[in-house]
Homo-oligomer: A and B are copies of this chain.
Amino acid sequence: MIVQKYGGTSVGSAARIRRVCRRIADTVRAGHQVVAVVSAMGHTTDRLIDLARRVSDDPPARELDMLVANGETITAPLVAMCLQEQGVPAISLTGPQAGVRTSNHHSRARIQEIRPDRIREALEAGRVPVVAGFQGVTDDFEITTLGRGGSDTTAVALAAALGAEVCEIYTDVDGILTADPRVVPEARLLSHISYEEILELAAAGARVMHPRAVEIGELYGVAIHVRSSFRRRPGTMIVSEVPMEDRNRVRGVAQERGVAKVTVLGVPDRPGVAAAIFEPLSGAGISVDVIVQNVSTAGHTDLTFTVSDTDLARSLELVGPAAREVGAQGLSHSAGLAKVSLVGTGMLGTPGIAARMFGTLAAAGINIEMISTAEIRITCIVDGQHAATAVRALHAAFRLDQVEGPTSAAGPASAAAPA
């Protein structure tokens, strides 16, 4: 049994729906049971939200859910009727009909349980269930939506509930690449990646699959295959353990632009200071990304954090008074920065990767503003103007364009670092 999820671009027109259905039909004819999960066509969701804004300045989340859920319930019957036209028995199901039970947090509901009775019934009757993604129902029969990454989440959760062999996520890219191909033309498709690695890549700015769906996949051990809906070749398998020879490597380099940095200078080194500074930000819903605090000198330290450029002004307003209150000596900030990150399970216990990353950036004449590391990730904050150069230099230095195989940090790859 295979769960196949088709995103908005894949079902963006009648012609594309016909193509998606040919692929589902081929999978069925190859002897698989298929459950399809579909998103709203193209820009349907945006258009519905735009309509809402034209009748209400602040649409209630419950009504917005009722409204945007129509995007997916339009696609599902179109796909089901198209499959039948192609000779494949099929039946569309809304999220509620498919048994997707959620919490009652409108616009960001969590799946609590799936009762896939009707899906199983359809499969036993030899039909392809076509499920409207992104939506569910509460115990009170209220319609909810799952928020960002919702259809991916529906698909992976269904694959878990049904015990499917694999959950295929069809998208407009070929799979997970070593870098953004618009920045690095030599970026290479990864055949496998681990849940941890893709979660770190997503946190580092790579927008391929929503972390939420990946987390469910990891929790229930669902193999996720991210692949192109336009080309027939295999994409990237997200699994718990990547094959041995791929493991000991840097797997990808990610970037995120539009980063701003705030430094609180001369903060007294005593308990409660960090909390006093970050609480106003969290209260205002501002997301703080990287936080760095160095060891203190003479009872004082500098505390630096990043927010998105668009949140900078508001962050300074909030942090200013808090900093004065805790007795900090001042604030400094800069905007227009970028986050550049290396991700790979291979970093665990492979010495020298960080050193080579810093060396590569230095050789390219790029100054590092901040450094932050996690178990399988190293992130440098650099000037946004140098982000693309940094990504290309790192991609080359770590030979990410080459077919995978064990390398060591001190291996010959360092020779590939650009001048």
Binding site for B on A (CB under 8 A): 14, 17-18, 21, 48, 51-52, 54-60, 62-64, 66-67, 69-70, 73-74, 76-82, 84-85, 91-92, 94, 96-97, 141, 143
Contact = CB atoms under 8 A, between A and B. Distances in A.
A84 B57 contact: no
Given A55-B17, A85-B55, A85-B57, A78 B67 contact: yes
5 contacts: A60-B81, A63-B77, A63-B81, A64-B81, A70-B73
A139 to B, nearest CB: 14
User: Mostly helix, strand, loop or mixed at chain A's interface?
Assistant: helix
Nearest to A65: B77
- Which of A56, A76, A91, A141 counts the most B-chain CB atoms under 10 A from its CB? A56
A67 B54 CA distance: 24
Contacts of A55: 14, 17-18, 21, 78-79, 81-82, 85
A255 B253 CA distance: 74
Contacts of A57: 85
A59 to B, nearest CB: 4
Contacts of A84: 56, 60, 63
A82 B67 contact: no
A62 B14 CA distance: 19
Contacts of A96: 141
A66 B76 contact: yes
Contacts of A14: 51, 54-55
A63 to B, nearest CB: 4
A59 B74 contact: no
- Which of A18, A80, A96, A97 counts the most B-chain CB atoms under 10 A from its CB? A80
A363 to B, nearest CB: 55
A55 B17 CA distance: 7
B56 A67 contact: no
A69 to B, nearest CB: 8
A179 to B, nearest CB: 37
B81 A59 contact: yes
